[in-house]
Structure 1
Amino acid sequence: MSRNPYDLPSLKMLKSFECAARCGSIKDAATELFVTPGAVSHQVKALEQELGVQLFTRRHRAIELTPEGWMLKDALSRGFFDMSRAIKSVQLRADPNSVTIGATTAVSSLWLTPRISKFWRDHGEITINQQVRDRPFTRPVSLDLIIEYRVSTPDEPHDVLFNDVLLPLCSPGFNHSPEPQLNNLAAMPLIHLDAKETNWTSWRNWFDSLQYDGDLSTRHRVNNYTIALQLAKDGQGVVLGWQRLVAPLLDAGELVVLGRYKSAAPGRFYLIHSGDENTVQTALVREWLLRNLN
């Protein structure tokens, strides 16, 4: 007798495998699923034993999908996407005035949330849910709208929100020379961002764009831009700032520009659509955001 009508392994096994396959890493899958790497590895091995096939070729600190793994990963990704869209449709029937927007922690707190507050002054009947994460959003896009910084143009329907400028920022009380040269700036305690998303410009990228290839100091290494900004506000060092994104902190005097050096960010901030403009409410939110960029 079948274990269930569809004769499937446990959803926990399938979800763990799909996440690891999509991320290309057991560790990153564990972060996304809020479990330990050992738990993900255990579920994947249990799935392999149940199916009687090897889904990953395991190498030092890396995993590669076998042909059978690719086949299962593609099927699961399509299936989870279809389930996500179906659930969203059910939720939309229950709350037709709901719109969901995805963004990083920094974009949410510094740019999006203040605008949502203003939006609600005129459209308080619309519920806006935010899905905040500091990892790339899965594809195909299942949310109504996503705000992403991209170096390359998105394949999905999109609008350009804004370009930005990168420059050093520090707290007003940070002890520094008012107009440091690049070599002096490089020797200051720099706050480095080690983000999973490689689109973000690093201190090394920024100095390279200004033709400086000397050594760089390190004060802190963090994996979240909001934490990096907080360390700078606390006087712990110099952070690489996105001038337009962090404008609220500059306007409030919590951070100040350090010196005269700056460079244009290589990418843009995009507003990505789900592709079907599924509700009048989504279209309204999108159009409002585009009209209220400043």
Structure 2
Amino acid sequence: MPRPLPSLNALLAFEAAARLGSVSKAAVELHVTHGAVSRHIRSLEEELGLALFQRQGRGLALTPAGQRLRDTSTAAFAQLRDTVESLRPEAGHTPFVLGCPVSLLARWMIPRLERLMADLPDLDLHLRPQEAPFDDALGGLDAAVLAGEAPWPASWHVRPLLRERIGPVVSPEFAKARRLIGRPPEVILELPLLHTQSRPRVWSSWAQAIGMVPAQLSMAQGYPHLYHLIEAAVAGRGLAMAPEPLVADDLASGRLVAPWGFVDSSAQWVLATPSRMPAERSEALARWLKTEFNRHAE
């Protein structure tokens, strides 16, 4: 006689892969290997006697049976998680895991961590660096702070913190830095413009915002991440396009200068939390982040 329910681990693996649309992302969320998720899904399909996924190009697509099981299992697990969370007597004091892009973590969050701990002593904050884009489930996170544009995933609750402002920055030690002071921004056409692979269009966006023709710009050395880009600017390698919060401390200390200031971009800094999480759990952190992000803009 077949079991009333398949293995819970198999159902968890299937639900995560179906919700995230990826076996790899499911493995990261569940803290297991890619192979373990694949084996659980395969055993579930064998027990049910039908296919739940089918190959579609390089990815996976749910079969009609898979869609039905995904809808039911996602709702059931969400309800189960919410109930368990509400039963924990110390739910308000469990670690709060905040995901941050590596550049924000290194250049903005860590320098302010002591003040954050002093202002929010009851928040047991665990910071998690993130290089890849955040997934729709914010897997393994209680919240994420990031810069981006709407539309946001429907599974997120998003609190705006600050309109993103961007501008060219350069080290005062850069050989040609003195030529920039008091001159129009068109002078950058003569200078090496550093760029990052993570935001390839940011120079073009800035040029359009100030009335320049983006096609006139000539890119120099590229860097894989924003953190490396800003460090290259500090080292005097050329001009970098940077978000204002990430260079605010360098501007204040004189390590960098912003010859033409900053302009609004189309992005916003936001705090995103899973929609299923009670809003009050992240409310204090959201207020603190908004205050800190706006501090340099005053």
Q: How much does 1:206 deviate? A: 4.5
2:201 and 2:77 map into 1 onto residues whose CA distance is: 32
2:198 and 2:97 map into 1 onto residues whose CA distance is: 25
Between structures 1 and 2, the one with greater helix share: 2
2:167 and 2:139 map into 1 onto residues whose CA distance is: 32
Q: How much does 1:66 deviate? A: 2.5
The answer as to whether partners of 1:170 and 1:235 remain within 8 angstroms in 2 is yes
Kindly provide the amino acid, as one letter, of the partner of residue 7 in structure 1.
L
2:207 and 2:24 map into 1 onto residues whose CA distance is: 31
Assess, with a 3 A threshold, how the Cα gap between structure 1 residues 43 and 169 changes in structure 2: closer, same or farther. farther
Aligned mate of 1:102, from 98, 105, 108: 98
1:246 and 1:181 map into 2 onto residues whose CA distance is: 22
Tell me the alpha carbon deviations over residues 58-98 of structure 1, each in whole angstroms, 9 at most, x when there is no partner.
2332333332232233334334433443454455x236445
Q: What is the percentage of aligned positions where both structures have the same residue?
A: 24
Q: How much does 1:163 deviate? A: 1.2
Q: Which residue of 1 aligns with 2:183?
A: none
Assess, with a 3 A threshold, how the Cα gap between structure 1 residues 221 and 72 changes in structure 2: closer, same or farther. farther
- Secondary structure at the counterpart of residue 53 of structure 1: coil
Kindly provide the amino acid, as one letter, of the partner of residue 149 in structure 1.
A
Kindly provide the amino acid, as one letter, of the partner of residue 169 in structure 1.
V
Aligned mate of 1:149, from 147, 152, 158: 147
- 5 Å-filtered alignment, 1:110-129, equals 110-129=107-126
Q: How much does 1:48 deviate? A: 3.5
Q: How much does 1:243 deviate? A: 0.9
- Secondary structure at the counterpart of residue 245 of structure 2: coil
2:27 and 2:229 map into 1 onto residues whose CA distance is: 23
TM-score (norm 1): 0.69
Give the gaps of 5 or more residues in structure 2. 181-185
- 5 Å-filtered alignment, 1:42-81, equals 43-81=40-78
The answer as to whether partners of 1:190 and 1:217 remain within 8 angstroms in 2 is yes
- Secondary structure at the counterpart of residue 214 of structure 2: coil
Q: How much does 1:242 deviate? A: 0.4
Kindly provide the amino acid, as one letter, of the partner of residue 252 in structure 2.
D
The answer as to whether partners of 2:161 and 2:290 remain within 8 angstroms in 1 is yes
Q: How much does 1:287 deviate? A: 3.9
Moved more, 173-182 or 264-273: 173-182
The answer as to whether partners of 2:244 and 2:262 remain within 8 angstroms in 1 is no
1:290 and 1:277 map into 2 onto residues whose CA distance is: 16
Assess, with a 3 A threshold, how the Cα gap between structure 1 residues 181 and 46 changes in structure 2: closer, same or farther. farther
Aligned mate of 2:197, from 193, 198, 205: 193
- Secondary structure at the counterpart of residue 161 of structure 2: strand
Q: Which residue of 2 aligns with 1:165?
A: 165
Q: How much does 1:266 deviate? A: 0.3
- Secondary structure at the counterpart of residue 260 of structure 1: coil
Kindly provide the amino acid, as one letter, of the partner of residue 147 in structure 2.
Y
1:189 and 1:35 map into 2 onto residues whose CA distance is: 42
Moved more, 247-256 or 139-148: 139-148
The answer as to whether partners of 1:167 and 1:262 remain within 8 angstroms in 2 is yes
Q: How much does 1:166 deviate? A: 1.4
Kindly provide the amino acid, as one letter, of the partner of residue 124 in structure 2.
T
The answer as to whether partners of 1:168 and 1:240 remain within 8 angstroms in 2 is yes
Q: How much does 1:160 deviate? A: 2.7
What is the aligned residue count? 280
2:26 and 2:70 map into 1 onto residues whose CA distance is: 14
Assess, with a 3 A threshold, how the Cα gap between structure 1 residues 24 and 97 changes in structure 2: closer, same or farther. closer
Moved more, 31-40 or 126-135: 31-40
The answer as to whether partners of 1:183 and 1:214 remain within 8 angstroms in 2 is yes
Rg (Cα) greater in structure: 2
- Secondary structure at the counterpart of residue 68 of structure 1: helix
TM-score (norm 2): 0.68
Q: How much does 1:262 deviate? A: 5.2
Assess, with a 3 A threshold, how the Cα gap between structure 1 residues 10 and 269 changes in structure 2: closer, same or farther. same
Q: How much does 1:158 deviate? A: 4.9
2:107 and 2:264 map into 1 onto residues whose CA distance is: 20
Give the gaps of 5 or more residues in structure 1. none
